[in-house]
Structure 1
């Protein structure tokens, strides 16, 4: 398989997974044999995320050093994330009103999935007020947050610890070097994990198709189409204009991140490519401190692909049950989504949990989300890819905003990529 690049290997694995899944549709024995392969790959991905986020943020914050400068960067980053995420939610709501994906859906033809585990998390989220969400950011036990993969408290602790390393001057240098070493070591570990990616992709796709079948797509085809079209328009129009404003072509960025986008698409996980996009954005001209701060933070605050899906899914359920939502109710839905989507990073089935919590808050039938569980992986594939692209672009935007982007380095990197392809 060494003759082929990772992107080609993953594409072949995707096709084989669909074929094998279709052949063994409904075969529980085959599913039980294939499932562990996909589970191992997902576990490997989750294993690398927390050490990378912690070490990257500590290195980034300690590298900036100046608390005032870090505060400005943090403020600008969060402001950018909120603006771009709000636009994504608005596009999702607009698309739901134009496409009307839930109108005319025959619920008797849909397979209902078990969502009890997601519902428990959603109930807990729904009960949380704004104040509780803020309190949750501060960890009472950082090791508990690390064990649970709860990114918001982890980010808070890492930033604070990074400031501490910077504040103690020379005494903090060994600590800085240690975490820099951890980060480099985790990049190496990630490269080894990626060698297993084609097998993981094959298993994940095969199990999904074997469980739900290709026929599951047909009744919900309108929703799938609405999500994919909206996401593509968001990339071309919103991210495209955004990229152009900072002197970058969005399609050039897509070419640079080709392997990462394919991997995140096929695995339905943006976490798998976190180290690679940090490394590539640094090679593209972003300062290490900015890329190491913005990208991991974006994994909590800048999930635009997920935001589009959540808005569409909420209105889809309302339309499916014949519930008309007025403009005022949809504006309320916008604010509810902005609140519930924060702090969901690291939660299994995060987008599902957000939609469930949102439906509960808006008084919409929770059973509706169980009917689209079968196609969740298909929808998760596109939203994960956009999350990756959006966070890579955010690093460039923040680097430009800070006046620290290396344009010459970017040109050289693009030329290197072109030469590599030509060879």
Structure 2
């Protein structure tokens, strides 16, 4: 498939999915029938998502190990890692702050006047009990690399890859050069498989959109339209900030990057998953000219620690729920909540419906009813689409900026071939 045609086909699939979903919703005689019809669409989208997920583990491992090993010296890894984490923390704080400011400005939850006492007994569909600091810390480190690959635990794969890549970098010999070459070829093979899988992208996107609209209908968008509009306005402001900062470092080439990431952006938006966009984002960064060794290291880290869209949603959702239940939060409490979200959100990698789980876990800390999450669950699908797309934008810009500036500042040797050469023999050195 022509890569230039794919974004257009995905856009067309979104439109057709909305129309077919609306027709299916109206055709269904009751909610159970609508869910049954949606399940058939969901089967198609689930197959596509599974095809995408089968690529991610091997691709992250191969590219990250090669990226670390080819950087050669540990000082380059630590320097780039420090720059990446500094960017991620700053971007997280800005994302939360934008969400906090907008939700206080628009007051979307004011006037709902939810009963705080009645809601206390309402069932909650999200289990946040297991989400705590201890479980997060233990979750970071894999019990088994095979298990991490099987479950697509990106953060655990990143941890193992860092150890593996560092060891490969230190043990420079004939055997390790063979391993390095094999992993380089593996990454190329996975990118080729990605091209095959992307042929089914329009079909998967159509099915995902049709399934969501079949169950919820367009009426849900009308009822919650103002809240959704405010959230997407916040995402638009965040995009302008991210592209503005990118312009300071990359100049006009930031617009070239914007064009290159259109395809992964639309994939993430339409499937509500930034994971689906990972392979294409990596390809877009390579076409942009970002140092492959650096981007192979930074992008997987970003998928675990740099979730800009999710961060803004969390601040937006918590304050919205507080407003709905007429709970006043002081500036100090809101600032404390912002810092809490910034820390707890770093543990969302690998957690299903991660942002919703973080919100549900944060509510009791500020004496807000956990059942308040039900107010946003109904439209979480539409929030998730924006969250996923924004995560792709944030990670793409972060990776491009850090890779370019690291190369410009001499952290990486631009002329380095990226090959691991075997140690010289004693006779040769003599």
TM superposition score category, shorter chain reference:
0.7 to 0.9
Alpha-carbon distance, 1:32 to partner: 2.9
CA shift, 1:99, in A, is 1.2
Q: What SS is found at the alignment partner of 2:131?
A: helix
Secondary structure at the aligned position of 1:218 is classed as helix
Distance 1:280 1:345, change over 3 A: same
Matched residue count: 396
Contact 1:58–1:162 (Cα < 8 Å) also in 2: yes
Match of 2:6 in 1: 6
Match of 1:71 in 2: 78
1:168 corresponds to which of 164, 168, 171: 171
254-263 vs 285-294, greater mean Cα deviation:
254-263
Separation in 2, partners of 1:156, 1:63: 17
Aligned with residue 187 of structure 1, among 181, 184, 191: 191
Q: Is the CA contact (8 Å cut-off) linking 1:286 and 1:404 kept in structure 2?
A: no
CA contact (8 A) 2:62 2:184 kept: yes
| Deviation at residue 150 of structure 1 after TM alignment | 2.2
Q: Is the 8 A contact 2:321 2:375 kept in 1?
A: no
Asked if 1 retains the 8 angstrom alpha-carbon contact of 2:291 and 2:407, the reply is: no
Q: 1:284-325 CA deviation, whole Å, 9 max, x = no partner?
A: 221111111111110011110111111101111111111111
Residue equivalent to 2:68: 61
Structure 1 residues 221-230 or 358-367, which shifts more? 358-367
Q: Unpaired segments of 5 or more residues in structure 2?
A: 26-30, 116-121, 411-430
| Regions of 4+ moved over 4 Å | 1-4
Q: Structure 1 CA distance, aligned partners of 2:375 and 2:138?
A: 34
> 1:269 is paired with a residue of what secondary structure?
coil
Select the residue among 131, 135, 141 that pairs with 1:125: 131
Counterparts of 1:370 and 1:265, CA distance in 2: 23
Q: Specify the structure having the higher radius of gyration (Cα).
A: 2
| Alignment of structure 1 residues 228-267 onto 2, 5 Å | 228-248=232-252, 250-267=254-271
Alignment RMSD (CA, Å)? 2.3
CA displacement at 1:404 relative to structure 2? 4.0
Structure 2 length as normaliser, TM-score? 0.87
What is aligned with 2:201? Answer: 197
Is residue 2:37 matched to residue 1:30? yes
Q: Indicate yes or no: 2:159 matched with 1:156.
A: yes
- Classify 1:295/1:405 alpha carbon distance in 2 versus 1 (closer, same or farther; 3 Å): farther
The structural deviation recorded for 1:242 is: 3.4
The answer to whether structure 1 residue 315 and structure 2 residue 322 are counterparts is no
Structure 1: gaps (5+ residues): 407-423
Tell me if structure 1 keeps the 8 A contact 2:256–2:288: no
Correspondence list, 1:265-414, <5 A: 265-404=269-408
Distance 1:93 1:192 in 2: 42
Deviation at 1:74, TM superposition (A): 0.7
TM-aligned CA deviation for residue 362 of structure 1: 2.5
What is aligned with 1:19? 19
For residue 114 of structure 1, report the CA deviation from its aligned partner: 8.2
- Could you tell me the TM-score, scaled by structure 1's length? 0.88
Partner of 1:40: 47
